[in-house]
Amino acid sequence: MKSIDIIQNEIIDDFNMFDDWMQKYEYLIELGKDLPLLNSSYKIEDNLIKGCQSQVWLHAEKKNDTIIFTADSDAIMTKGIIALLIRVLSHHSPQEIAESELNFITEIGLTDQLSPTRANGLVSMIKQMKIYAIALNN
Amino acid sequence: MILNIENIRAQFPILAQQIHGKNLVYLDNGATTQKPVCVINAITNYYKNENSNVHRGVHFLSGLATKKLERTRIAVKKFIGAKYNHEIIFTKGATDSINLVANGYSTLLKKGDEIIISELEHHSNIVPWQICCENSGASLKIIPVKDNGELDMDCFYNMISNHTKIVAISHISNTLGTVNPVEKIISKAHELGAKVLIDGAQATTHVNLNMIDLDADYYVFSAHKMYGPTGVGVLYGKEEALNSLPVYQGGGEMIKDVSFKKTTYAPLPHKFEAGTPNIAGIIALNEAITFVLKLGVENIYNYERELLEYATNEILKIKGVVIYGNSKNKTGIISFNINGLHPYDIGVIIDKLGVAIRTGHHCTQPLMERFKIPGTARISFAVYNTIEEIDICIEAIKKAKSMLV
């Protein structure tokens, strides 16, 4: 498995190919649509991260010492970013996830999506992914 | 009178800017309106030339600041047709005003008493009353909303009784634009001896207000939704209604005499104005009122109705659009969804096209629950908006739809 940083750099390279925001957004929408469906048994209140604008459901499980994330959102743009977060963090060890520094969202110019307002559940989602990793480590 | 919109727009410096390389189309006026240059100048001028604390200095500047602050009180009194100047209390905003009254009712109510609000209220007119109920033992009753976004008045008439002590209702719904029948609510409530608080946050530039005719016991609004600055609000209350409330916050200004044995309180309006107020903001509110009065509330209302009708027709041409709030009696607010799309996705895409609208639950989660939706996209107009801007917005929504579907 590639390291978290290598995957982040791949994503940054992917986004560098785009000329404008519209291509970036279209790519995110595509990623959002392609995100594997979250098993409905995981779409429960306990897995819900509430945002002011969109909601995110996050599920994590441990498999062969790595964490596998699955997630969903009611907004497609949010789902697109979730797809990227899963690509970066899933299939890594709890320690790698907990210690990761995620810089790709800023690098690809999507900081609007991560504003510290209550805009969406993404900031909480990243935090929650790390918390799951730590919890599942034991 | 036909308003010269070009002239009006020229008074709002912020409207000339570009966002993401596109001309700004600002259609989030329900959240806050932009400020004309007269309001901005009043704030700068105050800090440049007049800054001084009010009501306590003997020196020239303090006297000047006090005089100008009190002039706003008179302007507000005239603007809303109140009986006395001391019925105008300056607060931080409409939310603060409601909290002041609800906090007072916490001590006035007891178990068995009832408060009536409605399903379309802003959280600011829900949560303070929930806190009031928790503290007093009173219970909260809710007037339901019909499918067209109007209050179910039959339910209201069945619900109200002599247990009802206060009814708190918005004049205009911030999410649906519905103008509520506040006159009927007030007269029925008074028949049964209940007081009425009207949340006028969305109403001040759309309805000619006359407190004596309206007969509301309390009426609240914010300066920033009527072209004035943020951080300033008004609580109007009938003299006896305000006198019946206990003091809210303690501090300077609100006292008559302070001693460790017994402190006595100042009469209205100072009883409720503890601490140094937002002097610059209050002075600038006077300018905002002058701005609105020059244009005329009725002219603003009529012009925004034109925008509303045009935009409603155009947006309904987009396939799959559902508008929430279809009362005949509504102001310049369109809350909508497009089948299968999330409002957040629409909002972030059209933002990139320079169009500012609001998406989400608009601080009315119970109303979203009632319509079984996660939120809506909301367009809300002000007097400086144009037909051309609506066209740009509609094109942006179409673009978003084509990207998302």
Contact by Cβ (8 Å): B381, B307: yes
Task: Determine the distance in angstroms separating the CA of B344 from the nearest CA of chain A, rounded to an integer.
Answer: 6
Whether the pLDDT of residue B252 is over 90: the answer is no
Does A87 qualify as catalytic in the annotation? no
The residue-averaged pLDDT of B323-339 equals 97
Nearest CA in chain B to A53: B360
Provide the number of CB pairs (under 8 Å) joining chain A to chain B: 42
Percent of chain B scoring above 70 in pLDDT: 100
Task: Determine the distance in angstroms separating the CA of A21 from the nearest CA of chain B, rounded to an integer.
Answer: 8
pLDDT reported for residue A108: 86
**Helix residue spans in B296-342 (DSSP H):** 297-316
**How would residue A124 be classed by pLDDT, with cut points 50, 70 and 90?**
confident
pLDDT reported for residue B310: 98
Q: List, for residues A62-98, the tens digit of each pLDDT value.
A: 999 999 999 999 899 889 988 999 999 999 999 999 9
pLDDT reported for residue A39: 87
Interchain CB distance below 8 Å, A77 and B345: yes
| B contacts of A53 (beta carbons < 8 Å) | 343-344, 347, 359-360, 375
Interchain CB distance below 8 Å, B374 and A74: yes
CA-closest candidate to residue B204, choices B274, B295, B107, B118:
B295
3-state DSSP assignment of residue B19: strand
Task: Determine the distance in angstroms separating the CA of A104 from the nearest CA of chain B, rounded to an integer.
Answer: 19
pLDDT reported for residue B29: 98
Whether the pLDDT of residue B35 is over 90: the answer is yes
List the beta strands (DSSP E) in chain A.
Answer: 48-50, 55-63, 66-73
pLDDT reported for residue A117: 54
Q: Which residues pair with B221 in a beta bridge?
A: B234
Of A25, A54, A78, the CB nearest to B349: A25
Interchain CB distance below 8 Å, B352 and A120: no
Of B20, B342, B351, the CB nearest to A75: B342
Judged by a CB distance cut-off of 8 A, whether residue A72 touches chain B is: no
Judged by a CB distance cut-off of 8 A, whether residue A21 touches chain B is: yes
Judged by a CB distance cut-off of 8 A, whether residue A74 touches chain B is: yes
Lowest mean pLDDT among A54-58, B101-105, B368-372: A54-58
To the nearest 10°, the Cα dihedral for B2, B7, B11, B16?
120
pLDDT reported for residue A126: 85
Interchain CB distance below 8 Å, B359 and A53: yes
Judged by a CB distance cut-off of 8 A, whether residue A79 touches chain B is: no
CATH C-level class of A4-37+48-136: alpha beta
The tokens for B9 are 């727009």
The domains located in chain B, with CATH, are 5-30+296-404 (3.90.1150.10), 40-294 (3.40.640.10)
Task: Determine the distance in angstroms separating the CA of A76 from the nearest CA of chain B, rounded to an integer.
Answer: 7
Lowest mean pLDDT among A67-71, B215-219, B380-384: A67-71
Interchain CB distance below 8 Å, B348 and A55: no
Nearest CA in chain B to A78: B345
| B contacts of A77 (beta carbons < 8 Å) | 344-345, 348-349
**How would residue B237 be classed by pLDDT, with cut points 50, 70 and 90?**
very high
**Helix residue spans in B1-126 (DSSP H):** 5-9, 37-45, 60-79, 94-108
Q: How far is residue B222's CA from residue B286's CA, in Å, rounded to a whole number? A: 13
Q: How far is residue A9's CA from residue A13's CA, in Å, rounded to a whole number? A: 6
Q: Residue B22: which residues within 8 A CB-CB, separation 6 or more?
A: B353, B354
Whether the pLDDT of residue B1 is over 90: the answer is no
Interchain CB distance below 8 Å, A55 and B374: yes
Q: List, for residues B293-326, the tens digit of each pLDDT value.
A: 999 999 999 999 999 999 999 999 999 999 999 9
Judged by a CB distance cut-off of 8 A, whether residue A77 touches chain B is: yes
Q: List, for residues A90-121, the tens digit of each pLDDT value.
A: 999 999 999 999 888 888 887 766 555 545 56
Report domain extents, chain A: 4-37+48-136
pLDDT reported for residue B345: 93
Q: List, for residues B125-158, the tens digit of each pLDDT value.
A: 999 999 999 999 999 999 999 999 999 999 999 9
Judged by a CB distance cut-off of 8 A, whether residue A18 touches chain B is: no
The more confidently predicted of residues B253 and B119 is B119
Mean pLDDT of chain B: 96
In single-letter form, the type of residue at position A31 comes to: L
Whether the pLDDT of residue B77 is over 60: the answer is yes
Q: List, for residues A9-65, the tens digit of each pLDDT value.
A: 999 999 999 988 899 999 999 999 999 888 889 888 888 887 667 888 999 999 999
Complex-level ipTM: 0.87
pLDDT reported for residue B337: 97
Catalytic residues of B: 363
Contact by Cβ (8 Å): B201, B121: no
Interchain CB distance below 8 Å, A26 and B20: no
Q: List, for residues B48-68, the tens digit of each pLDDT value.
A: 999 999 987 789 999 999 999
Nearest CA in chain A to B377: A53
Alpha-carbon distances of A94 from A36, A56, A134, B133, rounded to whole Å: 22, 21, 6, 46
Of B360, B403, B404, the CB nearest to A52: B360
> Contacts by B299-303 with C-beta closer than 8 Å and gap 24+?
B299/B1, B299/B3, B300/B3, B300/B205, B300/B206, B300/B383, B301/B205, B301/B206, B301/B207, B301/B331, B303/B3, B303/B5, B303/B383
Task: Determine the distance in angstroms separating the CA of A99 from the nearest CA of chain B, rounded to an integer.
Answer: 31
Task: Determine the distance in angstroms separating the CA of A93 from the nearest CA of chain B, rounded to an integer.
Answer: 33
Q: Which residues pair with B178 in a beta bridge?
A: B330
**A6, A52, A134, A135: the active-site residue:** A52
Judged by a CB distance cut-off of 8 A, whether residue A61 touches chain B is: no
The residue-averaged pLDDT of B77-97 equals 98
- Candidates B22, B342, B372, partner chain A, best to mutate (most A CBs within 10 A): B342
